Structure 1
Amino acid sequence: MTRLALSLALAIALAGCKEETAGLPSPVEMTDEALGHYCQMFVADHPGPKAQIHLKGYDAPLWFSQITDAVAYVSDAERDGEIAAIYLSDMGRTESWAIPGTGNWLEAGTAHLVIESSRLGGMGLPEAIPFGEEDAARAFAAENGGRIVAFSEIPAAYAHPDMDTMTASGMHAGVQ
């Protein structure tokens, strides 16, 4: 009888774990029809890393043409809903900067992001470039400058850049 009780307790515990992980949506493969949440442009038309944010209660993710657009969304107190998951392009598993991939997603909380590098994002603004492996992030930073941070450590200036400063320095409109 104790074996049965132990088996039932284990089954209930495992079911609880399964329900918990079942609530976390999986990343969605990006298609050519994915539109950027802010710009309403085709996400695939822009080079560099992308982001998708899943909201609780919604089937489809919100797409972002740059990681920093996703950072702006996360920091917005008036966003559309409660965030269930954030996925970023793993630039260590991409064909090239121009073709960042459609299915190479990593959970934002596990990413190693390079900020303050010489590479601008798909919309011509400073970008946080995500990597699944710290060594890949280090290699990118060694070649392009910058430093490595966690998603939660991306500075607010990346979410809300000072456009006057960027325009004066030539860091806009795709100037790289």
Structure 2
Amino acid sequence: MVGLKRNLQRVFVLCLFIFVAACSEEVKQEVNTDPVTFNAGDECHVCGMLVIEWPGAKGQSINKQSGETLKFCSTTDLFSWWLQPENKTVKAQIYVHDMAKSEWAHPADEHLIDARDAWYVVGSDLIGAMGPTLVSFADESAAQELATKSGGRVLRFDDIDLLVLQEIGKAGHKYAEDHGKQIRESMGVE
């Protein structure tokens, strides 16, 4: 009888242990990380500008754990955010527009592609939300075609670092200076 009682206690403790372990496991929910559309009123996570009011490729990041979606008015702002040390550890699905299949003035959201697989042109004459920007493509040959026409160069996702963004920023200052000069001249102001 003592043996039976002891075995029942062991079974009870084992069942209790299994029950507690099962209840304490984190419940993992599937998070949808498919790209989402850009809508009126969406603000850029970096600069706060309204995303769809500006031309050029845009970006978005969807957190694989929480499902939180961050939207960016340009690929340059997307990379400005992504390259910050605290963000590189985020498990995220990142998207950009394939500009070979979209109008520059109004990129089509059905042509959002995985940013890590994209080809980027830096140094083109195309102007995005914040001035010169990275132009994204799904296909290397389309990227190379723009780079050849505009004097830019083709990079991959992992090639883009803060030095590349600094180069784009310098081009942006030159663009702003030239644009300001054009406005002053058109108004007859020197």
For normalisation by structure 1, the TM-score amounts to: 0.73
Where does structure 1 lack aligned partners over 5 or more consecutive residues? 1-21
| Farther off after superposition, 134-143 or 154-163 | 154-163
Q: 2:145 is matched by which residue type in structure 1?
A: A
Specify the alignment match of 1:132 in structure 2. 138
Secondary structure, counterpart of 1:171 in structure 2: helix
Superposed CA RMSD: 2.7
For normalisation by structure 2, the TM-score amounts to: 0.68
Separation of aligned partners in 2, 1:160 and 1:72: 10
Specify the alignment match of 1:64 in structure 2. 72
Q: 2:153 is matched by which residue type in structure 1?
A: R
**Bigger helix share:** 2
Specify the alignment match of 1:55 in structure 2. 63
Deviations 1:122-162 (A, max 9, x none): 211x3111101122112222222211110110141343468
Kept in 2, the 8 Å contact 1:53–1:83? The answer is: no
Deviations 1:77-136 (A, max 9, x none): 234971321100110110x21111222100011101111222232211x31111011221
| Farther off after superposition, 156-165 or 107-116 | 156-165
Specify the alignment match of 2:105 in structure 1. 98
Larger of the two Rg values belongs to structure: 2
Kept in 2, the 8 Å contact 1:112–1:134? The answer is: yes
| Higher RCO (CA 8 Å, separation ≥ 6 residues) | 1
Secondary structure, counterpart of 1:172 in structure 2: helix
Q: CA 1:36/1:80 → structure 2, altered by over 3 Å: closer, same or farther?
A: farther
Percent sequence identity is: 28
Q: 1:73 is matched by which residue type in structure 2?
A: W
Runs of 4+ that moved beyond 6 A: none
Secondary structure, counterpart of 2:109 in structure 1: coil
Aligned length: 151
Q: CA deviation at 1:173?
A: 7.5
Q: CA 1:24/1:159 → structure 2, altered by over 3 Å: closer, same or farther?
A: farther
Where does structure 2 lack aligned partners over 5 or more consecutive residues? 1-29, 183-190
